[in-house]
Chain A
């Protein structure tokens, strides 16, 4: 392997391996006669996008947002509202979701970034709860019951009704988001962001005001997460405020920390494993939360860097940084 691509960082290699493996899922599922596997895998991909977006602010910017699920909701409601207004193209709906998210992230981010640490955690939670209750009180959008979509979106005229089509569109989106974030975090912008994480004072002494960088990262993360929301709505053909509850925000942090923060690859792996684990355990017992909770505790106690750390210890995959 390394003979062909000696300059590729191990974590990038791991990410590429994950993407290639995931690309084979529908083929493999078809081969073993269980095409439904790709629907389950699709859900993993959606949450991988969400976890990646969270990694930008949480992993690279040290901004622990406990309200990231709000953007999942904005994306989902962009599909519902778009369909209602006659906008069924996926790209247009993504744009709409990003507009909602950017507006919300800009305002709440500007306020939230005045605070630090646990206060930041809680204020982001507060804003997400407000968004949640806003949609719960919207009777025309089904309120708490949510709203069923009449069908999936189209992509430049291509229907996404086929599960495999939607799967590869999601996979493509995941690859794009990963590539974009990989570039972004490697750029000067990313280095300033990381520098602020490591030592905010030094960065300020060097003439960087962290606030604009953090705010921009916060807005970008929100926008990218709304892409996951748009795809989730398409996958389930249903939109509900339950997508943006605080529990979901907590689960997204869990996926990310589970995989290991600040590596992007870890975010992706964490989401895939966490969603998969939930799926497997739930099929096994109604008391699956017991096993899932135990898995989380054990990973923290015995593998400080999440799955990435575990992989490193076992000599496979990524390197921190």
Chain B
């Protein structure tokens, strides 16, 4: 399954095409799909594969898609990225999920192919290390916390308690929050990566009684925190999160997360025709609710399709780059364009965790916090 080659073109059309047009569009999907943190990678992969299936021939060309597991190890990912580009000759790579993998694969991929990230968007790649062949299709990491900070400003939250894991993305997240939040930060906490039990932090929150809590605790940490927050009877204090309550963690958080708010650039509830079709098709095919990582994967594939269709070949890198920059595709996020640093200009929303009528849990957009929001690193990017 891992290195599945989906030759999407029909045998008939291949047979009828003149031999001179034997060029093939090759796309690598490189996300972490094994081991404990696989769920995000599965969303992104499934989203991208769904798009390819719907398109049939991506970019109107014979398409070969190679799905590779990054294994969550940067050194393995770096090797597999090189393998995709140098051995398999892919022109596009969709991936990765984790920012430490991003750092390892960005160099090898962008040397001769385009890297489209369905999730990870560390600030260095939006700023000083931006690259002509690198596109952050999803968002820049620091944007999510600012959405929540702005919402708190708008609703007059005077003081907030903020916490994140003690690693680079955690620090970026809290700094992003503080750069926009106008109230006072009563306490700024860093918890060890992978912490299981949050009673100590919850006791501090209960003692301080802040007006709101902002947390960035991705994956299993978020599940633990949200459940324990609910059990400690703290839901009276609004908990606003980024990457903590979404469709990958809601199956475990369930009722504990209901009503909690998060910052998103997309949610399955988004009222955009392309999005509605995508969600319906996705749930039919895979039988789970797509999270924003799936949307990132889907949009990445659609973006490739639009660029290759516009250019008509896969060899003219400059033309392809311009076509990617134009972002002339119908994104599931509606209005969508790229800044000069190849990171998106898009709307950001506040979403609430809800239980849908069919009993499944999902995020639902409550309000638009930013319209056509670009990231803060555009000026640092010189390319």
Contact = CB atoms under 8 A, between A and B. Distances in A.
A and B touching (C-beta < 8 Å)?
A: yes
A236 B79 contact: yes
A242 B100 contact: yes
A285 B69 CA distance: 9
Nearest to B82: A39
Interface string B168-207: 1101000000000000000000001100000000000000
B83 A282 contact: no
Contact of A146 (B79, B103, B171): B103
B71 A240 contact: no
Interface string B362-382: 000000000000000000000
Given A242-B74, A286-B69, A144 B83 contact: no
A165 to B, nearest CB: 16
A242 B73 contact: yes
Interface string B3-20: 100000000000000000
B167 interface: yes
Contacts of B102: 145
Contacts of B129: 148
Contacts of A289: 34-35
Given A36-B86, A36-B87, A148 B106 contact: yes
Interface in A128-150: 133, 136-137, 139, 142-148
A236 B35 CA distance: 21
Interface in A260-287: 282-287
Interface string A237-260: 110101100000000000000000
Contact of A286 (B33, B83, B106): B33
B33 to A, nearest CB: 5
B189 to A, nearest CB: 15
A213 interface: no
A36 B100 contact: no
Given A43-B79, A238-B74, A146 B100 contact: yes
B193 A288 contact: no
B53 interface: no
A40 interface: yes
A142 B102 CA distance: 12
Contacts of A285: 1-2
Interface of A: 34-36, 39-40, 43, 133, 136-137, 139, 142-148, 232, 235-238, 240, 242-243, 282-289
Q: When A and B form their complex, which 9 residue pairs have the shortest distance between CB atoms, in order from nearest? A: A144-B167, A143-B168, A36-B87, A236-B78, A238-B104, A286-B2, A240-B74, A236-B75, A145-B168
